[in-house]
Amino acid sequence: MDAEKIHWLALCGTQEPIALAFTDFEGYARVALSQLCATEQQDVSRTYIRHVVRTNEAVRAVVSIPLVQEAIQRRCAARISKEH
């Protein structure tokens, strides 16, 4: 991602905080946990999606930040092991 194109930064977590950079941001929605529905679809292109939520506008996929963080950590570990 080109640093000049980054317009938004999302700070997530408290114990192990992570910041995610975005070029575009459509908005956000506050929803109750009871509105989340688990997905059973195991689509490879949706590796980080485990839940969906219905808002007033549409049904939206919920990105799992812990799954994204695990993937980043795996990539970093793999890169380090290749360098040694």
* pLDDT confidence of residue 52: 92
> Most distant CA pair in the chain: distance in Å?
51
Q: Does 37 have pLDDT greater than 90?
A: yes
pLDDT tens for 42-82 read: 666 668 888 999 888 888 989 888 888 888 888 888 888 77
**Which tens digits make up the pLDDT trace of 1-30?**
666 777 888 888 888 888 988 888 888 888
Q: What are the residue ranges spanned by the domains of the chain?
A: 3-83
Q: Is the pLDDT of residue 33 over 70?
A: yes
Distances (CA, A) of 84 to 32, 65, 73, 80: 46, 29, 17, 7
**Would the pLDDT of 84 be above 70?**
no
- Residue 82 has a pLDDT of 77
Rg value, the chain, Cα:
15
Q: End-to-end CA distance of the chain: give it in Å, rounded.
A: 26
